[in-house]
Structures are given as structure tokens and as C-alpha cells.
Chains A and B, each alone.
Chain A
Amino acid sequence: MFAYIVRRMFQSVIVLLVVGLVAFSMFRFVGDPIDNMLGQERTQADIDRLRTELGLDQPFVVQYAKFLQGAVQGNFGVSYRQGRPVSTILVERAPATLELAFVSGFLAITMGIALGVFTAIRRQGIAANVIMTVSLIGVSLPTFLIGILLIYVFSVELDLLPSFGRGETVMIGSWSTGFLTASGLKALILPAITLGLYQMTLIMRLVRSEMLEVLRADYVRFARARGLSDRVINFRHALKNTLVPVITITGLQLGSIIAFAIITETVFQWPGVGLLFINAIQFVDIPVMAAYLMLISVMFVTINLIVDLLYYAIDPRLRVDARAT
């Protein structure tokens, strides 16, 4: 067990290092930050001076090594655009993204499971068919279009919800939360739906097909024969057995909700790390881009590591293999 964990951790570190290396080799194709940092009346001397100060005249491997050196000490450098430490900015922006991801993840799971069960039980019903058809839209429409459509309907036409931003926030320690104010909660609705819609339809379709399978299983038929009520059969026995694959998928999707919040955040001007990353690309803010990419890859690697370890705990075959080698 221990050897397995150590080996997986080692692999994770290698993955992180490679991600960083690839990222740094790409940065010079993103563009040149110098022109954004100097005004129109700059001279070639100013350009050269700033380039040297920022270390941009060095090969990317050297830049990467410098970044790593700082990163292991928790220092991600200073944003070119904001002139403030990247770590401070990330801490400021993270709550917005995490709250949004939490709410949309919650929506996706609860709504996805509820609708999935409903459409499985009432397979032939009109409502179930309507839901299934509409869910196709959720899977096939791109996020930015859904976002703009929601803004158009609910902010411009109906004037019910705000079109952008996070509303009023309250600081709890260093965590800014939008959960405690009316405007903060209202501002969450549209972005959360936009971000969670895809996951919701995914979970719904997954639950539905698993449920249909389980409902045909022998133990369900026996349960029916025993005279148990539909409610007990559907929710106590059938649903429980559908949830195993759902949990796996949900775990993996959690990472992508956070990582792919970029588009939703841009459409709604949601002040999270995704928007920060888009800004950083436009400005060629290398320290912010590097820190964000590393953070996201750490997150994915950690999630995968946990999933792997869970498999290890669940699946005895892996343990046998490990002992054999």
C-alpha cells in the first residue's frame, strides 16, 4: 500500500513538472508583455531594460527554473498587470470561483439525480420525454451562448436578475462570500445554471440509464414480488445501486467545473480565478498564467490521486497485483 502511494505521488510530481515545462515553453507564443507595460512613447532602450528586469531575455528553461524556485517557497511572483503578489490575488479571487463551483455542482447533482430518477420511472410520460429533449440542448449548446441567452431573458427582458458581477459580498476572515446577501445570492443564479447545466444533463442521463438497468434486475423484481411499495423500491434499493458510477463521474467532473468556469466567468464578469486567467492571457501576465496553470494541474492531479487510492481501497485485485510485483 505504502509503496503504491509513494509511486503514485512520484508520478504526480513528474506530471506537474512536465505541465509547468510545457506551459513555460508556450508562453512566448502567447505574446510579449512588454508592450502592455510600456506606453506609446517608449523607446527601444526602455523595452530592453524592462525585458532584462523581468528576466524575459532568458531562455524559457531558466525562467521556469526561477519560477519553480519561488513556487516551492510559496512565492509565485508578482503580477505584471496588477503589480501585486500573485498569491494575494489568487487568494482574493478563489472564493468567487469556489462558491460558484459549489453551487453549480450542488445544482447539477441534486437536479441531475432527481430528473434522472423521474425520467427513468416515468419512461413513457410526456414530461419525461420533454425533459430528455430539453436536456439535449444542455449538452449541445456552448456555455457562452447559454450564458448570453440567460442574461438576455432574465436581466434584459424580465429585469429579474443582475447581468454581471457578484453582487454585494461579505468578508469572513479573508474569504469573501456572496451567500450572505440578497444581491449576492441573486447574482449566483444565472452563472451557476450556466456552469452546471452540462454536468446536470450528464448526471441526469447517467442516472436514467443506470436506473433503467437496475429496475430490470432480479432483486427489484423480487422486491416487487414481496409487495414493497414503489417508493421504497425506487429510492431505497434501485437508486442506491445506481449511485456508484454517478459518484465516480461527479468526482471527476468537480475538477472540470472549477477549471472550465473560465468561460462562464468571462460571460458574467464573475470575479473568479478563471476571469483572472483570461485577463492574464490578454495581458501576457506570465506569473499569473503560470500560477493558475500549476494550481489547476495540482488540483487535477490530486483528484486523480484520490480516485486512484479509492480504487485501491475498493478493488482487491489491485492489491493482489501490487503484492505480486
Chain B
Amino acid sequence: MILRNSAVGLAMLLAGTAQAAEFKWASTTDPQTMDPHAVNSAPVLGFLNNVYEGLVRRGKDMSVEPALAISWEPIGEGDGWRFKLREDVTFHDGSGFDARDVLFSYQRASGEAADTRSWFAPVSDVVVVDDYTIDIMTTAPNPLFPSSIANWMIMDQDWTEANDAVVPDKEVGNYATINTNGTGAFKVTEREPGLKSVLEPHDGWWGEVEHNITRAEFNPIQNPATAVAALLSGDVDMINPVPIQDVARLQQSGEVDVIQGIEARVIMLGFDHEAEVLKYTDDAGKPNPFRDARVRKAVAQAVNVDAILATILRGNAEAASQLVSPSMSGYSKANAERPAYDVEAAKALLAEAGYADGFSFGLKCPNDRYLNDEAVCQAIVGMLAQIGVSAELDAMPVRNYWPELREDNYDMYLLGWSPGTFDAEHPVRFLVATLNEEKKLGSWNFGGFSNPRVDELLPAIQSELDQAKRQAMLDEVAAIIQDEQVYVPMYVQPLVWGAQSNVEVTQRPDNFFLLRWVTVN
């Protein structure tokens, strides 16, 4: 009797956990397209990771794992990579997947009109060996190539050609802008741009199903207060992000959980390394003090990052010493220490550099790009005043901000960087390397920093196969960046999601939300 009861109980328990469920979630931005090659932005790639798949994918801990490829190995002495493809894969429309689709997707994603083109800069050729084997040749040995293509999503050649969407079109749009046909765990069954998107499980998915969702609906909700209300009232099951100031309130409510983690994005201060003179305030026209590394170091020592974290970010972030967070590959453990907050030392450095009486300059800052960005900049202005440096803050929406930075309209600026490859090489390539249009280097190095040793090490890092040697070079670069104080890395931005207590979700540092890891209890 007891035995039978417990068996019934167990059966009920199992039935309970396996119960199918509908799931609704909301975020501030609607993915602007359903075309996986048209726009390389987090909202688009994050959403489409539920629908399309790449040869490889990232697991819960960001590690690279097989997806449409079951294995891969280097060809020769770093001539390229050979991928063995999965055979039992079907697209949402039922058609099969093979190496032709991979070649087609390479051509599509690396074409002139594709925003994902830069991922394929190291690729020289793609060769179909047989139906389920494909070789991707690289111009130089490229140990990180498999992990750099986790967001390169494979489309069905026949479907794309039949619907006249061979070239991604972000200006005018085409069939693939609204419609999808991936191999992923979910298919899009309804899409109203800007209003809602409905996803349903793909029955023919090759993977093992971990979720229990029968239907998922995504709604963009722009106003953070409305999103919080929608979560509290149960209209949605999960929201991303939760405004920092609402975290404590939600935690107390008891009905919803706040899920916090550390994003890959490092928030830093940047300088103009090139300009001869300052451009803002009464000191405009005077020599640019930020060309002197001692002044940059003084700034680093004057900014009290712990205070910023405790007050403005309410303890939700962690301090950063480098351009990448400790959880990224290639992080330099040898350079893990960040300059201590020390007003006296900062003043001494300024005096040494000949600015004992301080100076004034212009600080540019976005006000809608990073978490509480304007408040952080205001705090920095106050902190710099303590060492006699007066900053004039100009905060603006991000849509005006990037053009200002591109035109060098700043003396100092705030920047956040999330490495797309989750490797320490990424920020070096974009933020530190000398600007080189042709080689696509330094495209975000607004300040024009240039160091011959960094430029020399970067290609070597990119092609080094030996992990220890590669790390040694990355350590050297990290040390140069710290010695020169090229940037002042401050903290790693937090991720804050809110979900109903009965919902289990997995948060990844890239802020991608994957339905296949959702369970509704």
C-alpha cells in the first residue's frame, strides 16, 4: 500500500515536472530582423539562436560544443579546419541539411551586404569534401576559428533561393527579414515586427529536449516600469533587463526571482591619445594632458570604482582590471590587479606630469547605452574634482554618441566593450591596435592609441596554436595596456533578469536567452 502510494506520488511528480507549458517573455528591444546574416547585434543574434543553429554552439558556461557539426579538427599545420556534419538534421520546413547549405551560408554571411562579414576575414576558401564534410581554409593558422563562429547560423539553400533572399538586405528587407527556416529547437510561427513573435518547438529537432515549452511568446516592452509591472502581475513569465533600482523590491515580493550574473561587457574610460590640444572648457587649446601616461594613471587612481559599484550599481557589478572580464579566455591572471584608489598618489602623479594645479576638460558620456551610464559619469566628475581636475560632462543618447566619438569630439569618454569571441584578443584588435582600414584593425580605437609592440604581437596571437605561448603574448599585451593606461577599465556590467518563481532559466554572460533551457514548473 505504502509502496503503491509512493509510486503514484512519484508518477505525479514526474508528470508535474514534465508538464507542458506556455511561456511569455519580454525585453526592451525587438530584434530588428529575422535574417541571421543581416545585422550583427545582440538582440538579433540572441533571439535567432533559438531558431537557427551554427556548426558549433555555446553551452551554459559559454564553452564551445558541437551543434550542426559533430566534430572538427585542424587541417595540416593550421591551414584550416575540417568539420564533420551531423546527418539527422532537418530544417523547420522538413528539408534536409548537408554541406551545400554550409557553403551557401558561408557565401551569404561573408558577402558584401552581410553584417557578419568580419567573422570570415581569416577565411580563404570553403570546400565541400562530401555531403557531410566541409573544409574551411584560413589564410593563417587560426586556433580560435571554431569558437569565433558560434553565431554563424546556417540557412537552407533551397528555401533561401526559392524565396529570393540569397543576399541579406537590411535596407529594404526581403523574405528572410520576416520569415525563418532554421534547424533550431524552436520555429517562429508568428511574427509581427515590433509587437510579438511566437515560437513553437521544432518536432524534428536533432537534440535532446530539456525544456517543457509548447508555445513561447516574445513581446518587446520598452518602458522598464511597464515591464516590471507585467512581471509582477503575471502577464509575462520573464523580463530582461530588470532596472537596477527595482531589484530589491522584486526580491522582496516573493513571487518573482531576480537572476543576476556578470555580463561580458567591461565599462571603461577612454582618452584622446592623438590630439595636440584639449577641445572643451576654458582650457580648450591648451596642450592635451592625456597624452601623458602619468595623467591617465592619475585618473585611474582617482576613480573610486568600489564606491561606484556600491552606490550607483547597488552591488550588482564587479571591478575590472583589464579590457575583458576574468571569465573570458586569454584573461591575463598576471595582470589581475587594478590601480588602487589613492587620491594622494594621483595628485603626486599629476604634479610630476606638470599639472599640479589641475586642468579642465570635456567628458562625453552616453545616457541610454549602459546601465546607469550617466550617473556613473557624474560620479567620475566628482571624483576627479578631488584631484583638482575639473571635467565638464556632456551626456547624450547613444544615437548621437557614436558619431561624436567618430569625429573625435571629446577629451575623455565612456565606453563599454563586450568581446564577440569571448577572448582577450578581441578588444586588442578593436580598441588597442593601430587603426588600419584595410586589415580591419582598431576600428573602435577612437583615441588613436598606437604601440608598435602591440601591433607586432596581435597577428602572432591570432595565429599561435600553442596555448601557453599565446597566453604569454596576451599577458605581455595586457601589461603594456596597463603600463600605458590606454584605457581605465572600471567594472564588468551586471546582467539582471527577473522571472516568475516557478520558472527556471539559464543566464549566459552574452545575455542570450535560450528557450531550450527553460522549464516551467
Q: Which candidate, A1-9, A59-67, A78-86, A198-206, is the interface stretch facing chain B?
A: A78-86
Is A276 located at the chain interface by the 8 A CB criterion? Answer: yes
Within 8 A of A (CB), among B394-428: 397-400, 402-403, 406, 418, 420
With A31-B399, A163-B229 already in contact, the answer to whether A41 and B118 are too (CB < 8 A) is yes
Counted as pairs of residues, one from A and one from B, with CB atoms less than 8 Å apart, the total is 143
Is B170 located at the chain interface by the 8 A CB criterion? Answer: yes
Residues on the B chain within 8 Å of A278, using CB: 222
Residues on the A chain within 8 Å of B235, using CB: 155, 162-165
Residues on the A chain within 8 Å of B33, using CB: 82-83
Is A126 located at the chain interface by the 8 A CB criterion? Answer: no
Is B221 located at the chain interface by the 8 A CB criterion? Answer: yes
How far is B220's CA from A271's CA once the two chains are assembled, in angstroms?
10
Identify the closest chain B residue to A49 (Cβ).
Answer: B112
Within 8 A of A (CB), among B45-74: none
Query: Is A282 a contact partner of B399 (Cβ separation < 8 A)?
Result: yes
Within 8 A of A (CB), among B117-136: 118-119
With A78-B173, A83-B173, A276-B194 already in contact, the answer to whether A155 and B32 are too (CB < 8 A) is no
How far is B40's CA from A44's CA once the two chains are assembled, in angstroms?
16
With A84-B177, A155-B229, A163-B229 already in contact, the answer to whether A78 and B402 are too (CB < 8 A) is no
**Which interface residue of A50, A164, A278 has the most chain B CB atoms within 10 A?**
A164
**Which interface residue of B170, B226, B402 has the most chain A CB atoms within 10 A?**
B226
Query: Is B226 a contact partner of A163 (Cβ separation < 8 A)?
Result: yes
Identify the closest chain A residue to B195 (Cβ).
Answer: A271
Residues on the B chain within 8 Å of A266, using CB: 222-223
Within 8 A of A (CB), among B190-208: 192-196
Q: What 1/0 mask marks residues of chain A from 257 to 286 whose CB sits below 8 Å from any chain B CB?
A: 000000000111101000110110011100
Query: Is A84 a contact partner of B225 (Cβ separation < 8 A)?
Result: no
Residues on the A chain within 8 Å of B222, using CB: 266, 269, 275, 278-279
How far is B398's CA from A283's CA once the two chains are assembled, in angstroms?
10
> How many residues from B make CB contacts under 8 Å with A?
51
Is A107 located at the chain interface by the 8 A CB criterion? Answer: no
Identify the closest chain A residue to B116 (Cβ).
Answer: A39
Residues on the A chain within 8 Å of B397, using CB: 31, 282
**Which interface residue of B399, B418, B437 has the most chain A CB atoms within 10 A?**
B399
Say how far B439's CB is from chain A's closest CB, in angstroms.
10
Query: Is A35 a contact partner of B399 (Cβ separation < 8 A)?
Result: yes
How big is chain A's contact interface, by range?
35 or more
Identify the closest chain A residue to B397 (Cβ).
Answer: A31
Residues on the A chain within 8 Å of B75, using CB: none
Q: A83-B170, A279-B194 are in contact. List 10 more A-B contacts (CB 8 A).
A: A29-B400, A32-B399, A37-B170, A41-B118, A43-B440, A148-B229, A156-B233, A159-B233, A267-B223, A283-B399
Sampled A-B contacts (26; CB under 8 Å): A29-B400, A30-B400, A32-B399, A32-B403, A37-B39, A39-B41, A40-B40, A41-B40, A41-B118, A44-B437, A82-B194, A83-B38, A83-B173, A84-B178, A148-B229, A155-B230, A156-B229, A159-B233, A164-B226, A164-B227, A164-B229, A267-B226, A269-B220, A269-B222, A269-B226, A278-B222
Which residue numbers of B lie inside 8 Å of A, CB to CB? Answer: 32-33, 38-41, 115-116, 118-119, 169-174, 177-178, 192-196, 219-223, 225-227, 229-230, 232-235, 397-400, 402-403, 406, 418, 420, 430, 437, 440, 443-444
